[in-house]
Structure 1
Amino acid sequence: MIQGQPVEQLVELLKWRKELVVPALTWEHVEGQLGVAVPLGVKAISSRFPAGSFGDWINFYNPVQSVQTSTMFMGTLKSVGETLRYARQVNFEEFPYNFHPEKSGLVAWGHGDQHVYFWRAPGVADPDVEVVLYCDKHGAGWGEFSGSVPEFLVELFNDRLETEILYDEWVDCQFFSEFQEFARPGN
Structure 2
Amino acid sequence: MKTIDDLAALVPPPTHPIDASGDWKQIEDALGLELPADFKALIGSYGLGQFVDFITPLTPFGSRNLLLQSAQQLLESERPFREASPEKCPYPYYPEAGGLLEWAGTDNGDRLCWVTGGHPETWTVVAWNPRGWYYDAHETGAVGFLYGWLSGRLNTTVFAANEHVTAPWLEPFRELNHVYIKLTDSQKTYPERLRVLREALSPTADRGGYAGGDGRQDHFDATELGWRLTYETAYNHQIRIAFPPEDEDQVRSTLLAAVHSMGCNVLSTTTHRGQPVWD
Residue 171 of structure 1: CA displacement? 4.5
Aligned residue number for residue 82 of structure 1: 76
Q: 2:26 aligns with which of 25, 29, 33?
A: 29
CA 1:23–1:17: 2 relative to 1, 3 Å: closer
Aligned residue number for residue 222 of structure 2: none
CA 1:162–1:78: 2 relative to 1, 3 Å: same
TM-score by length of 1: 0.79
CA 1:140–1:106: 2 relative to 1, 3 Å: closer
Residue 18 of structure 1: CA displacement? 5.2
Aligned mates of 1:23, 1:165 — CA distance in 2: 28
Contact 2:71 2:101 (8 Å CA) reproduced: yes
Aligned mates of 1:141, 1:116 — CA distance in 2: 10
CA 1:165–1:24: 2 relative to 1, 3 Å: closer
Name the stretch that deviates more: 11-20 or 74-83: 11-20
Instruction: Among all aligned residue pairs of Structure 1 and Structure 2, give the percentage whose two residues are the same amino acid.
Output: 21
Contact 1:108 1:116 (8 Å CA) reproduced: yes
Structure exhibiting the larger radius of gyration computed from Cα positions: 2
Name the stretch that deviates more: 164-173 or 108-117: 164-173
Structure 1's unaligned 5+ residue stretches are 182-187
1:110 aligns with 2:107: no
Aligned mates of 2:27, 2:75 — CA distance in 1: 17
* Corresponding residue SS for 1:147: coil
Structure 2 counterpart of 1:46, one-letter code: I
TM-score by length of 2: 0.55
Q: Which has the higher contact order (CA 8 A, sep 6+)?
A: 1
Structure 2 counterpart of 1:93, one-letter code: E
Aligned mates of 2:5, 2:98 — CA distance in 1: 30
Q: 1:156 aligns with which of 139, 149, 152?
A: 149
CA 1:168–1:127: 2 relative to 1, 3 Å: closer
Q: 2:52 aligns with which of 45, 52, 55?
A: 55
Aligned mates of 1:74, 1:62 — CA distance in 2: 9
Contact 1:77 1:109 (8 Å CA) reproduced: no
The CA deviation string for residues 70-103 of structure 1, in whole angstroms up to 9 with x for no partner, is: 2x32222333433233322222222221111223
Superposed CA RMSD? 2.5
* Corresponding residue SS for 2:157: coil
* Corresponding residue SS for 2:88: coil
Structure 1 counterpart of 2:147, one-letter code: V
Aligned mates of 1:85, 1:109 — CA distance in 2: 20
CA 1:86–1:160: 2 relative to 1, 3 Å: farther
CA 1:164–1:33: 2 relative to 1, 3 Å: same
Structure 2's unaligned 5+ residue stretches are 176-279
Q: Runs of 4+ in structure 1 displaced over 6 angstroms?
A: none
The CA deviation string for residues 39-92 of structure 1, in whole angstroms up to 9 with x for no partner, is: 1121120110111212222222311x43x142x322223334332333222222
* Corresponding residue SS for 1:93: helix
Give the paired residue count.
173
Name whichever structure is richer in strand by fraction: 2
Residue 25 of structure 1: CA displacement? 2.2
